[in-house]
Amino acid sequence: MAGAAGSVLGGIGVIVMARRSMSASGTVPVNLVYALIAVQEILLIGLPTIFIWMRSTEAKEGLSKQLKRPDAYSLGLTILAAVSFALASILLIGLWMVFLQDVGITLPEQTDIPPPAGALGLAWAVITAAVIPAFCEELLFRGLLLRFLRRKRGNRFAVLVSGLIFAVLHFSFQGFAPLLLIGWLLAALAMRYDGIWLPIVFHAAYNALVLVINTMGRLPSANLVFFGAGICIATIYLLFRKGREDAWN
């Protein structure tokens, strides 16, 4: 626990100093912004979670079991589901925003992260803002938190509550609806396949496509969004239809 606390405090210190430096310098390189995202995820989420996992032999064995390698079929379906969900989430966010307007809720303008520049910038952004956050967050939410809630209150409670906490802690009111669905889906996927590699892959692929869309500077066509929604439904059905006993090597 001391290591986890030290990592969190160190992470806060690094973030405060980095933001002060950015404010003083005025113009901040885009690559540095994405690097800071990775540092935050590692120091505030990834390392503390690993320290907690490593506190006992039983916990280490539990982590090892959670990181069993998935088979190629499930892995491919997961990537396809993530990409199609990223497209479908555009529709979901639109419906969510309409709902908020209908009930009289006005949201402040959201400050977006600047899009990466060029192919190398996009590759760097995918590593720092898609892959690393996915790994760190899945260790915490689907590895540690979900496992703890399942032991305490059962599967259904664990899925609902871990997904809700996941969505809330992203502090994005505009993206709350898709984040909540993603949280529930990843929790169910982790339980269905008794591991967190598929949630990590889904999370990383989803983040990566969102980055690509932001880099393009325009939204996909309505036809592509609806096509993505259909593919997403089909792939999720196939993922949860497949028996657990055949899902791992």
Q: Mean pLDDT over all residues of the chain? A: 83
Average pLDDT over residues 26-33: 73
Residue at 28 is within a domain: no
187: pLDDT strictly greater than 70: yes
pLDDT at 112: 66
114 occurs within a structural domain: yes
pLDDT at 7 over 60: no
26 domain-assigned: no
For 82-121, what is each residue's pLDDT tens digit? 999 999 999 998 888 888 888 877 766 666 677 887 888 9
Residue type, 218: R
Task: With respect to residue 16, please indicate whether it lies within any of the assigned structural domains.
Answer: no
**Per-residue pLDDT tens for 39-57?**
989 998 999 988 888 876 7
When pLDDT is cut at 50, 70 and 90, the band that residue 20 belongs to is very low
Q: Is residue 61 part of a domain?
A: no
Residue 87 CA to residue 80 CA, distance in Å, equals: 11
Whole-model pTM?
0.86
Q: Show the domain range for 77.
A: 71-246
> What is d(CA 102, CA 121) in angstroms, rounded to the nearest whole number?
39
Residue 3 lies in a domain: no
Q: Rounded to an integer, what distance in angstroms lies between the CA atom of residue 240 and that of residue 234?
A: 10
Would residue 21 count as lying in a domain?
A: no
> Which one-letter amino acid corresponds to residue 56?
S
What pLDDT is recorded for position 13? 46
Written as six digits, the tokens of 113 are 């992260």
- Decide if 209 is inside a domain: yes
Residue 244 has pLDDT above 80, yes or no: no
Residues 6+ apart with CB under 8 A from 50: 139
Predicted local distance difference test score (pLDDT) of residue 23: 44
Work out how many domains the chain is built from and give that number: 1
Residue 29 has pLDDT above 80, yes or no: no
SS (H, E, C) the chain: CHHHHHHHHHHHHHHHHHHHHHHHHCCCCHHHHHHHHHHHHHHHHHHHHHHHHCCCHHHHHHHHHHCCCECHHHHHHHHHHHHHHHHHHHHHHHHHHHHHHHCCCCCCCCCCCCCCCHHHHHHHHHHHHHHHHHHHHHHHHHHHHHHHHHHHHCHHHHHHHHHHHHHHCCCCCCCHHHHHHHHHHHHHHHHHHCCCHHHHHHHHHHHHHHHHHHHHCCCCCHHHHHHHHHHHHHHHHHHHHCCHHHCEC
- Can you tell me the mean pLDDT for 164-185? 91
